[in-house]
Amino acid sequence: MFGLNENEVQIIQRTLAECPELEKAIVFGSRAMGNYKTGSDIDLALFGKGISRKTILDLYDQLNEVLNLPYHFDIIDYHGITNEALKKHIDDIGISIWENKNFK
């Protein structure tokens, strides 16, 4: 999935699950389109009403610095996107990597 092995996907999912304000996370860009290269970054769009800048920075730090994953993560708040073309790309191409089943 996305050029990642199952263990890497599970590590990412567990990290996302630690953020109670998240509703779901969508992979977009080359990883979702399937035309990624070995060193391609992982673009994540976060969904949820309580997502703050701190949430994004904490996840960024966890995924890029703390965990020993050989990828760079770019993380954005979907609801903060003003570029309609980017929103359309995420809506059309994006693939869920994690969803909070208990989100209300």
| pLDDT reported for residue 1 | 81
| pLDDT reported for residue 103 | 64
Quick one: average pLDDT of 18-39? 94
- pLDDT exceeds 70 at position 104: no
Amino acid at 81: I
* Contacting residues for 27 by C-beta, under 8 A, at least 6 apart: 2, 42, 43, 44, 94, 95, 96, 97
| pLDDT reported for residue 102 | 79
DSSP per residue, 11-75: HHHHHHHT-TT--EEEEETHHHHT---TT--EEEEEE-TT--HHHHHHHHHIIIIIS--SS-EEE
pLDDT digits 0-9 by tens, 40-92: 999 999 999 889 999 999 999 999 999 989 999 999 999 999 999 999 999 99
Question: Could you give the strand order of the β-sheet that contains 24-28, starting from the edge strand earlier in sequence?
Answer: 73-77, 42-47, 24-28, 95-99
Quick one: average pLDDT of 24-43? 95
